[in-house]
Structure 1
Amino acid sequence: MFIELDLQSDTPLYTQLADQLTEGIASGELKPGDPLPSIRRLAEDLGINLHTVNKAYNLLKQEGLLQVHRKTGVIVQPDGMPGVTEAFEAKLRRQLRSLAAAAAVRGMAEEVFAQESKSVYRDIITNRGGE
């Protein structure tokens, strides 16, 4: 999986990394049980601080997407992904609210916002490689 971080972005690097790993899992590029690079190795490969990678990995561990073991390393959750919970729905609403507000401030029509959301979702799902 190719990870590209924008060092000039206002979005923290750990968030960018977590988001890209989540997208890799959602698209099927990263499959359950797949090993991920060690914290140190990924930090080296990306040219970022190892604490940044550690924070991203721990965030995804808390969300149930990764398993982190001191001896065996980091793997994509092999026991099935977590379902849609109330906490997830609340987080999703907060994030969508922020995006919707930004779109509304710029004058984007509701239909266009909804279509863009569908398009992005379908693009990720379509890239699952036949799953």
Structure 2
Amino acid sequence: MWIISVYEVLRSAKEYSPNLMDMELFRDIGNVRIPLAKYQIAKDNKLRAPLRFAREGDSDVPEKIETYDPKDSQRHHTVPRGFSQRGSLQWCVIDVTDEKYEKWLERRDLADRFLQYMRSLPPA
């Protein structure tokens, strides 16, 4: 719920003050929000071909390879998650707009960046 709420705050801020938006934070929060809320990869309509996923060590076991096809109405993606060295929840997200990078995003780091962004805004 926290990710979804922060995304809505940032989306509203972007709508009213686009020149003050931290676009990297907005993109990172969005890349976590979509798989958590919709079980899809963010901006999957930009994928040129289906993605194939395998856990480490399973890439040579065909039945353990999953395919994510954005054109499949039954598609789903469960974002990998774990805990950082600081003990904070983190997610491994895919950004298809940036050469399909995979990036681990930590909840505490996102919270720190969000608070820093909010402090940078001019007083109302």
Same fold (TM > 0.5): no
In proportion to residue count, which structure has more helix?
A: 1
In proportion to residue count, which structure has more strand?
A: 2
Taking structure 1 as the reference length, the TM-score comes to 0.30
Q: Which has the higher contact order (CA 8 A, sep 6+)?
A: 1
